[in-house]
Structure 1
Amino acid sequence: METVTYDKKVTGLLVIDPYNDFISEGGKIWDRLKGVAQANGCIPNMLQVLEAARKAQLRVFYAMHHRYRPGDYETWKYVAPIQRAAWGRKSFEFGTWGGEIRSEFAPLPGEIVAQEHWCSSGFANTDLELQLNRHGIHQLIVVGLVAHTCVEATVRYAAEIGYEVTVVRDATASYTEEQMHSALDVNMPNYANAIVTTEQIVASISSL
Protein backbone atom coordinates (compact mmCIF):
# COMPACT_ATOMS: atom_id res chain seq x y z
CA MET A 1 0.00 0.00 0.00
CA GLU A 2 1.39 3.37 -1.04
CA THR A 3 2.48 6.18 1.24
CA VAL A 4 0.00 9.03 0.97
CA THR A 5 0.87 12.68 1.42
CA TYR A 6 -1.93 15.12 2.11
CA ASP A 7 -2.66 18.47 0.53
CA LYS A 8 -4.51 20.64 3.02
CA LYS A 9 -6.48 22.40 0.29
CA VAL A 10 -8.05 19.20 -1.06
CA THR A 11 -8.20 16.94 2.01
CA GLY A 12 -11.31 16.40 4.12
CA LEU A 13 -12.19 14.28 7.12
CA LEU A 14 -15.30 12.12 6.76
CA VAL A 15 -16.92 11.03 10.04
CA ILE A 16 -19.41 8.21 9.60
CA ASP A 17 -22.37 7.62 11.94
CA PRO A 18 -21.18 8.92 15.35
CA TYR A 19 -24.66 8.36 16.80
CA ASN A 20 -25.29 7.66 20.47
CA ASP A 21 -26.92 4.36 19.50
CA PHE A 22 -23.54 3.24 18.13
CA ILE A 23 -20.90 4.76 20.39
CA SER A 24 -22.47 5.65 23.73
CA GLU A 25 -23.22 3.49 26.76
CA GLY A 26 -26.93 2.71 26.62
CA GLY A 27 -27.10 2.97 22.83
CA LYS A 28 -29.12 0.30 21.05
CA ILE A 29 -26.11 -1.10 19.17
CA TRP A 30 -23.29 -0.24 21.57
CA ASP A 31 -23.29 -3.62 23.31
CA ARG A 32 -22.60 -5.32 19.98
CA LEU A 33 -19.68 -3.01 19.21
CA LYS A 34 -18.16 -2.29 22.60
CA GLY A 35 -15.85 -5.31 22.77
CA VAL A 36 -13.97 -4.36 19.62
CA ALA A 37 -14.39 -0.60 20.11
CA GLN A 38 -12.95 -0.64 23.61
CA ALA A 39 -10.12 -2.99 22.64
CA ASN A 40 -8.82 -0.70 19.91
CA GLY A 41 -9.72 2.63 21.52
CA CYS A 42 -12.09 3.44 18.66
CA ILE A 43 -14.07 6.27 20.29
CA PRO A 44 -11.15 8.27 21.76
CA ASN A 45 -9.23 7.67 18.52
CA MET A 46 -12.11 9.02 16.44
CA LEU A 47 -12.17 12.09 18.64
CA GLN A 48 -8.41 12.54 18.42
CA VAL A 49 -8.53 12.46 14.62
CA LEU A 50 -11.44 14.90 14.57
CA GLU A 51 -9.65 17.33 16.86
CA ALA A 52 -6.43 17.07 14.82
CA ALA A 53 -8.34 17.72 11.60
CA ARG A 54 -9.99 20.78 13.07
CA LYS A 55 -6.67 22.07 14.37
CA ALA A 56 -5.17 21.59 10.91
CA GLN A 57 -8.18 23.43 9.46
CA LEU A 58 -9.26 20.53 7.28
CA ARG A 59 -12.84 20.46 6.07
CA VAL A 60 -14.98 18.10 8.14
CA PHE A 61 -17.92 16.18 6.67
CA TYR A 62 -20.43 13.85 8.31
CA ALA A 63 -22.10 10.89 6.61
CA MET A 64 -25.05 9.91 8.78
CA HIS A 65 -27.36 6.91 8.57
CA HIS A 66 -31.07 7.45 8.09
CA ARG A 67 -32.80 7.96 11.42
CA TYR A 68 -35.77 5.66 11.86
CA ARG A 69 -39.21 7.28 11.68
CA PRO A 70 -42.57 5.52 12.08
CA GLY A 71 -43.73 4.22 8.70
CA ASP A 72 -40.25 3.69 7.29
CA TYR A 73 -39.98 0.61 5.03
CA GLU A 74 -43.60 -0.43 5.60
CA THR A 75 -44.65 0.17 2.00
CA TRP A 76 -41.34 -0.87 0.40
CA LYS A 77 -41.47 -3.87 -1.92
CA TYR A 78 -37.84 -4.80 -1.23
CA VAL A 79 -36.04 -4.22 2.06
CA ALA A 80 -32.37 -5.17 2.40
CA PRO A 81 -31.43 -7.35 5.40
CA ILE A 82 -29.45 -4.53 7.01
CA GLN A 83 -32.44 -2.23 6.63
CA ARG A 84 -34.77 -4.85 8.07
CA ALA A 85 -32.50 -5.10 11.11
CA ALA A 86 -32.51 -1.30 11.55
CA TRP A 87 -36.29 -1.34 11.19
CA GLY A 88 -36.64 -3.98 13.89
CA ARG A 89 -34.40 -2.12 16.34
CA LYS A 90 -35.63 1.35 15.35
CA SER A 91 -31.97 2.27 15.11
CA PHE A 92 -31.07 5.95 15.46
CA GLU A 93 -34.74 6.81 15.98
CA PHE A 94 -35.49 10.39 15.03
CA GLY A 95 -36.24 12.60 18.02
CA THR A 96 -34.57 10.28 20.53
CA TRP A 97 -31.21 10.40 22.30
CA GLY A 98 -30.00 7.39 20.33
CA GLY A 99 -30.58 9.25 17.08
CA GLU A 100 -28.45 12.20 18.14
CA ILE A 101 -24.77 12.66 17.36
CA ARG A 102 -22.70 11.98 20.49
CA SER A 103 -22.00 15.36 22.04
CA GLU A 104 -18.20 15.31 21.66
CA PHE A 105 -18.63 14.79 17.92
CA ALA A 106 -21.24 17.49 17.32
CA PRO A 107 -20.53 19.38 14.09
CA LEU A 108 -19.14 22.89 14.46
CA PRO A 109 -20.39 25.82 12.37
CA GLY A 110 -19.18 25.40 8.80
CA GLU A 111 -18.86 21.62 9.01
CA ILE A 112 -20.98 19.75 6.51
CA VAL A 113 -23.61 17.14 7.42
CA ALA A 114 -24.60 15.29 4.25
CA GLN A 115 -28.07 13.93 3.65
CA GLU A 116 -28.74 10.69 5.49
CA HIS A 117 -27.99 7.40 3.72
CA TRP A 118 -30.64 4.69 3.74
CA CYS A 119 -28.41 1.61 3.58
CA SER A 120 -24.61 1.64 3.96
CA SER A 121 -22.82 3.91 1.51
CA GLY A 122 -22.60 7.52 2.58
CA PHE A 123 -22.74 8.45 -1.12
CA ALA A 124 -25.75 6.50 -2.37
CA ASN A 125 -28.82 8.73 -2.77
CA THR A 126 -27.25 11.60 -0.77
CA ASP A 127 -25.53 14.90 -1.54
CA LEU A 128 -22.15 13.84 -0.12
CA GLU A 129 -20.39 13.80 -3.50
CA LEU A 130 -21.85 17.20 -4.35
CA GLN A 131 -20.68 18.65 -1.04
CA LEU A 132 -17.17 17.23 -1.42
CA ASN A 133 -16.86 18.49 -4.98
CA ARG A 134 -18.21 21.95 -4.15
CA HIS A 135 -15.56 22.26 -1.45
CA GLY A 136 -12.77 21.03 -3.72
CA ILE A 137 -12.06 17.81 -1.84
CA HIS A 138 -10.18 14.99 -3.57
CA GLN A 139 -8.58 13.24 -0.60
CA LEU A 140 -10.69 11.67 2.14
CA ILE A 141 -9.68 10.53 5.61
CA VAL A 142 -12.37 8.21 6.97
CA VAL A 143 -13.29 7.33 10.56
CA GLY A 144 -16.49 6.00 12.13
CA LEU A 145 -18.88 3.06 12.20
CA VAL A 146 -19.26 0.24 11.24
CA ALA A 147 -16.09 -1.02 9.55
CA HIS A 148 -17.63 -3.88 7.56
CA THR A 149 -20.83 -2.06 6.56
CA CYS A 150 -21.05 1.73 6.26
CA VAL A 151 -17.30 2.43 6.34
CA GLU A 152 -16.45 -0.22 3.77
CA ALA A 153 -19.38 0.65 1.51
CA THR A 154 -18.51 4.34 1.61
CA VAL A 155 -14.81 3.71 0.93
CA ARG A 156 -15.64 1.44 -2.02
CA TYR A 157 -17.98 4.04 -3.51
CA ALA A 158 -15.45 6.82 -2.98
CA ALA A 159 -12.81 4.85 -4.87
CA GLU A 160 -15.26 4.12 -7.70
CA ILE A 161 -15.82 7.83 -8.32
CA GLY A 162 -12.18 8.87 -8.07
CA TYR A 163 -11.35 9.91 -4.50
CA GLU A 164 -8.08 9.03 -2.81
CA VAL A 165 -9.09 7.45 0.49
CA THR A 166 -7.32 6.86 3.78
CA VAL A 167 -8.98 4.68 6.45
CA VAL A 168 -7.96 5.02 10.10
CA ARG A 169 -8.00 1.41 11.28
CA ASP A 170 -8.22 2.04 15.04
CA ALA A 171 -10.87 4.74 14.63
CA THR A 172 -13.50 2.27 13.46
CA ALA A 173 -15.03 -0.89 14.88
CA SER A 174 -17.15 -3.92 13.99
CA TYR A 175 -19.10 -6.47 15.98
CA THR A 176 -16.28 -9.05 15.87
CA GLU A 177 -12.55 -9.18 15.23
CA GLU A 178 -13.28 -11.45 12.26
CA GLN A 179 -15.39 -8.71 10.67
CA MET A 180 -12.64 -6.16 11.36
CA HIS A 181 -10.09 -8.42 9.68
CA SER A 182 -12.31 -8.95 6.65
CA ALA A 183 -12.96 -5.24 6.25
CA LEU A 184 -9.53 -3.79 7.02
CA ASP A 185 -7.15 -6.54 5.90
CA VAL A 186 -9.02 -8.28 3.08
CA ASN A 187 -11.54 -5.95 1.43
CA MET A 188 -10.63 -2.30 1.92
CA PRO A 189 -6.98 -2.58 0.82
CA ASN A 190 -8.44 -2.98 -2.68
CA TYR A 191 -9.98 0.49 -2.47
CA ALA A 192 -8.22 2.60 0.16
CA ASN A 193 -4.89 4.13 -0.82
CA ALA A 194 -3.77 3.90 2.80
CA ILE A 195 -4.96 2.19 5.98
CA VAL A 196 -3.21 3.81 8.93
CA THR A 197 -3.34 4.19 12.69
CA THR A 198 -4.58 7.21 14.60
CA GLU A 199 -1.02 8.02 15.59
CA GLN A 200 0.10 7.98 11.96
CA ILE A 201 -2.73 10.12 10.59
CA VAL A 202 -2.50 12.67 13.40
CA ALA A 203 1.23 13.04 12.73
CA SER A 204 0.58 13.47 9.00
CA ILE A 205 -2.14 16.10 9.23
CA SER A 206 -0.57 17.97 12.15
CA SER A 207 2.38 18.81 9.92
CA LEU A 208 0.26 20.37 7.15
Structure 2
Amino acid sequence: MHFTPADTALVVTDPQNDFLSPEGVTWELVGASVQENNTVENLGRLLRAALDSGYGVFVSPHYYYPYDREWQFGGTLEQKMHEISMFERRGPLDLAGFEGSGADWLAEYKPVFEDERTVVCSPHKVYGPQNTDLALQLRKRGVDKVVLAGMSANLCVESHLRDLLERGFEVAVVSDATAAARHPELGDGMAAAVTNFRYLAGEVLSTDEAVRRL
Protein backbone atom coordinates (compact mmCIF):
# COMPACT_ATOMS: atom_id res chain seq x y z
CA MET A 1 0.00 0.00 0.00
CA HIS A 2 1.10 3.53 -0.80
CA PHE A 3 -0.03 6.22 1.63
CA THR A 4 -0.67 9.88 0.78
CA PRO A 5 -2.61 12.50 2.77
CA ALA A 6 -4.95 12.90 -0.20
CA ASP A 7 -6.38 9.37 -0.07
CA THR A 8 -5.30 7.85 3.26
CA ALA A 9 -6.45 8.40 6.84
CA LEU A 10 -5.71 7.07 10.29
CA VAL A 11 -8.71 5.46 12.01
CA VAL A 12 -8.48 4.84 15.76
CA THR A 13 -11.00 2.77 17.68
CA ASP A 14 -11.79 3.15 21.39
CA PRO A 15 -8.76 5.18 22.60
CA GLN A 16 -10.46 5.56 25.95
CA ASN A 17 -9.57 5.25 29.62
CA ASP A 18 -11.56 2.07 30.21
CA PHE A 19 -9.20 0.25 27.83
CA LEU A 20 -5.89 2.10 28.11
CA SER A 21 -5.62 3.40 31.68
CA PRO A 22 -4.66 1.29 34.71
CA GLU A 23 -7.78 2.80 36.31
CA GLY A 24 -9.98 1.51 33.48
CA VAL A 25 -12.54 -1.20 34.16
CA THR A 26 -10.91 -3.66 31.72
CA TRP A 27 -7.30 -3.24 32.86
CA GLU A 28 -7.25 -6.62 34.61
CA LEU A 29 -8.01 -8.27 31.26
CA VAL A 30 -6.11 -6.07 28.80
CA GLY A 31 -3.37 -4.45 30.90
CA ALA A 32 -0.70 -7.08 30.26
CA SER A 33 -1.23 -6.89 26.51
CA VAL A 34 -1.25 -3.07 26.53
CA GLN A 35 2.08 -3.06 28.38
CA GLU A 36 3.68 -5.79 26.26
CA ASN A 37 2.76 -4.02 23.01
CA ASN A 38 3.66 -0.58 24.39
CA THR A 39 0.24 0.33 23.02
CA VAL A 40 -0.22 3.70 24.72
CA GLU A 41 3.08 5.12 23.50
CA ASN A 42 2.81 3.52 20.05
CA LEU A 43 -0.69 4.84 19.47
CA GLY A 44 0.44 8.29 20.58
CA ARG A 45 3.35 8.22 18.13
CA LEU A 46 1.03 7.15 15.34
CA LEU A 47 -1.45 9.93 16.08
CA ARG A 48 1.22 12.61 16.14
CA ALA A 49 2.83 11.35 12.93
CA ALA A 50 -0.48 11.34 11.09
CA LEU A 51 -1.49 14.83 12.19
CA ASP A 52 1.97 16.31 11.67
CA SER A 53 2.12 14.91 8.12
CA GLY A 54 -1.32 16.16 7.14
CA TYR A 55 -3.25 12.89 7.28
CA GLY A 56 -6.83 12.89 8.43
CA VAL A 57 -7.43 11.38 11.87
CA PHE A 58 -10.80 9.71 12.48
CA VAL A 59 -11.86 8.42 15.88
CA SER A 60 -14.47 5.70 16.27
CA PRO A 61 -15.46 5.84 19.95
CA HIS A 62 -17.54 3.46 22.05
CA TYR A 63 -20.21 4.95 24.32
CA TYR A 64 -23.12 3.53 26.27
CA TYR A 65 -26.03 5.61 27.54
CA PRO A 66 -28.55 4.64 30.25
CA TYR A 67 -31.13 3.42 27.72
CA ASP A 68 -28.61 0.94 26.27
CA ARG A 69 -29.01 -1.05 29.48
CA GLU A 70 -32.49 -2.04 28.30
CA TRP A 71 -31.12 -4.38 25.63
CA GLN A 72 -32.60 -7.86 25.98
CA PHE A 73 -29.65 -9.94 24.72
CA GLY A 74 -25.98 -9.77 23.76
CA GLY A 75 -22.79 -11.73 23.25
CA THR A 76 -20.33 -12.65 26.00
CA LEU A 77 -18.17 -9.52 25.97
CA GLU A 78 -21.08 -7.29 25.03
CA GLN A 79 -22.93 -8.31 28.19
CA LYS A 80 -19.74 -7.94 30.21
CA MET A 81 -19.33 -4.33 29.07
CA HIS A 82 -22.76 -3.49 30.43
CA GLU A 83 -22.11 -5.35 33.68
CA ILE A 84 -18.92 -3.40 34.44
CA SER A 85 -20.36 -0.04 33.29
CA MET A 86 -17.80 0.29 30.52
CA PHE A 87 -17.78 3.49 28.42
CA GLU A 88 -20.79 4.82 30.29
CA ARG A 89 -22.10 8.34 29.72
CA ARG A 90 -25.25 10.01 31.05
CA GLY A 91 -26.57 10.75 27.57
CA PRO A 92 -25.55 11.72 24.03
CA LEU A 93 -25.91 15.44 24.81
CA ASP A 94 -24.78 15.29 28.44
CA LEU A 95 -21.10 15.64 29.34
CA ALA A 96 -21.66 15.76 33.10
CA GLY A 97 -19.06 13.50 34.73
CA PHE A 98 -17.39 12.76 31.41
CA GLU A 99 -14.04 14.42 32.09
CA GLY A 100 -11.61 11.77 33.32
CA SER A 101 -14.22 9.01 33.23
CA GLY A 102 -13.75 5.60 31.65
CA ALA A 103 -15.46 6.88 28.49
CA ASP A 104 -13.10 9.86 28.16
CA TRP A 105 -10.02 9.92 25.93
CA LEU A 106 -6.71 8.94 27.45
CA ALA A 107 -5.31 12.29 28.61
CA GLU A 108 -2.16 12.27 26.46
CA TYR A 109 -4.23 11.90 23.29
CA LYS A 110 -6.50 14.86 23.93
CA PRO A 111 -4.39 17.44 22.06
CA VAL A 112 -4.86 15.37 18.89
CA PHE A 113 -8.51 14.46 19.41
CA GLU A 114 -9.44 18.03 20.30
CA ASP A 115 -7.65 19.41 17.23
CA GLU A 116 -10.24 20.90 14.87
CA ARG A 117 -8.96 18.69 12.04
CA THR A 118 -9.79 15.45 13.85
CA VAL A 119 -13.13 13.80 13.03
CA VAL A 120 -14.89 12.13 15.96
CA CYS A 121 -17.48 9.80 14.44
CA SER A 122 -20.75 8.70 15.96
CA PRO A 123 -20.21 5.88 18.48
CA HIS A 124 -20.37 2.20 17.71
CA LYS A 125 -22.39 0.12 20.15
CA VAL A 126 -21.16 -3.44 19.71
CA TYR A 127 -17.87 -3.80 17.81
CA GLY A 128 -18.11 -2.65 14.20
CA PRO A 129 -18.88 0.68 12.46
CA GLN A 130 -21.87 -0.54 10.46
CA ASN A 131 -24.26 1.77 12.32
CA THR A 132 -21.98 4.82 12.51
CA ASP A 133 -20.97 7.58 10.08
CA LEU A 134 -17.34 6.44 9.78
CA ALA A 135 -17.52 5.25 6.16
CA LEU A 136 -19.50 8.34 5.15
CA GLN A 137 -16.97 10.69 6.75
CA LEU A 138 -14.09 8.89 5.01
CA ARG A 139 -15.75 8.76 1.58
CA LYS A 140 -16.82 12.42 1.72
CA ARG A 141 -13.13 13.32 2.05
CA GLY A 142 -11.97 11.11 -0.79
CA VAL A 143 -10.33 8.56 1.51
CA ASP A 144 -10.07 5.01 0.23
CA LYS A 145 -7.09 3.77 2.27
CA VAL A 146 -7.11 3.37 6.04
CA VAL A 147 -4.36 2.86 8.59
CA LEU A 148 -6.19 1.19 11.47
CA ALA A 149 -5.22 1.07 15.16
CA GLY A 150 -6.73 1.31 18.64
CA MET A 151 -8.59 -1.03 20.95
CA SER A 152 -9.45 -3.84 21.18
CA ALA A 153 -7.58 -5.99 18.66
CA ASN A 154 -9.87 -9.00 18.25
CA LEU A 155 -13.11 -7.08 18.85
CA CYS A 156 -13.48 -3.50 17.60
CA VAL A 157 -10.29 -3.30 15.54
CA GLU A 158 -10.97 -6.56 13.72
CA SER A 159 -14.66 -5.69 13.27
CA HIS A 160 -13.72 -2.32 11.78
CA LEU A 161 -11.18 -4.03 9.53
CA ARG A 162 -13.75 -6.49 8.18
CA ASP A 163 -16.42 -3.85 7.59
CA LEU A 164 -14.07 -1.38 5.90
CA LEU A 165 -12.79 -4.13 3.60
CA GLU A 166 -16.34 -5.06 2.61
CA ARG A 167 -17.00 -1.38 1.80
CA GLY A 168 -14.08 -1.27 -0.61
CA PHE A 169 -11.36 0.38 1.48
CA GLU A 170 -7.75 -0.77 1.53
CA VAL A 171 -6.75 -1.29 5.15
CA ALA A 172 -3.39 -1.60 6.90
CA VAL A 173 -3.42 -2.58 10.57
CA VAL A 174 -0.77 -1.39 13.02
CA SER A 175 -0.40 -4.48 15.18
CA ASP A 176 1.51 -2.98 18.12
CA ALA A 177 -0.77 0.06 18.38
CA THR A 178 -3.51 -2.18 19.69
CA ALA A 179 -3.93 -4.81 22.42
CA ALA A 180 -6.52 -7.33 23.60
CA ALA A 181 -7.86 -9.26 26.53
CA ARG A 182 -6.24 -12.43 27.78
CA HIS A 183 -8.73 -14.71 29.52
CA PRO A 184 -8.14 -18.16 31.07
CA GLU A 185 -11.28 -19.60 29.44
CA LEU A 186 -11.89 -17.42 26.38
CA GLY A 187 -8.25 -17.38 25.25
CA ASP A 188 -5.69 -14.85 24.02
CA GLY A 189 -7.48 -12.18 22.01
CA MET A 190 -4.26 -10.63 20.73
CA ALA A 191 -2.97 -13.87 19.24
CA ALA A 192 -6.32 -14.50 17.57
CA ALA A 193 -6.41 -10.97 16.15
CA VAL A 194 -2.89 -11.01 14.73
CA THR A 195 -3.64 -14.26 12.90
CA ASN A 196 -6.74 -12.74 11.33
CA PHE A 197 -4.99 -9.44 10.56
CA ARG A 198 -2.48 -11.38 8.48
CA TYR A 199 -5.22 -13.16 6.57
CA LEU A 200 -7.38 -10.08 5.98
CA ALA A 201 -5.50 -6.77 5.95
CA GLY A 202 -3.73 -5.24 2.98
CA GLU A 203 -0.70 -4.95 5.25
CA VAL A 204 0.17 -5.54 8.89
CA LEU A 205 2.63 -2.90 10.07
CA SER A 206 4.61 -2.09 13.19
CA THR A 207 4.33 1.40 14.63
CA ASP A 208 7.91 2.14 13.57
CA GLU A 209 7.13 1.24 9.96
CA ALA A 210 3.78 3.05 9.93
CA VAL A 211 5.30 6.25 11.34
CA ARG A 212 8.12 6.13 8.80
CA ARG A 213 5.74 5.66 5.89
CA LEU A 214 3.30 8.32 7.04
Q: Percent identity?
A: 31
Aligned match of 1:178 in 183, 188, 193? 188
Q: CA deviation at 1:68?
A: 2.5
Per-residue CA deviations over 1:114-169 (Å, capped at 9, x if unaligned) read: 10001001x21111111001111111001100000000000011111110001001
How far did 1:195 drift? 0.3
Find runs of 4+ consecutive structure 1 residues off by over 4 angstroms: none
Q: Which position in structure 2 is the counterpart of 1:40? A: 37
Pairs within 5 Å for 1:60-79: 60-65=57-62, 67-74=63-70, 76-79=71-74
What SS does structure 1 have at the residue aligned with 2:68? Answer: coil
1:53 aligns with 2:50: yes
How far residue 57 of structure 1 moved from its aligned partner, in angstroms, is 0.7
The unaligned stretches of length 5 or more in structure 1 are none
Q: Which moved more, 1:25-34 or 1:172-181?
A: 172-181
The total of aligned residue pairs comes to 198
SS of alignment partner, residue 172 of structure 2 = strand
1:78 CA drift (Å): 3.3
Aligned to 1:129: 135
Letter paired with 1:100? D
Aligned position for 1:112: 119
* Aligned residue number for residue 13 of structure 1: 10
SS at match of 1:22: helix
CA distance in 2, matches of 1:136, 1:115: 19
Separation of aligned partners in 1, 2:180 and 2:77: 14
| Residue of structure 2 in register with 1:81 after alignment | 76
Superposition deviation, residue 49 in structure 1 = 0.5
Does the alignment pair 1:188 with 2:197? yes
1:73·1:79 contact (CA, 8 Å) conserved in 2?
Answer: no
1:110 Cα deviation (Å)? Answer: 2.0
Q: Please give the TM-score of this superposition, normalised by the length of structure 1.
A: 0.90
1:101 and 2:105 correspond: yes
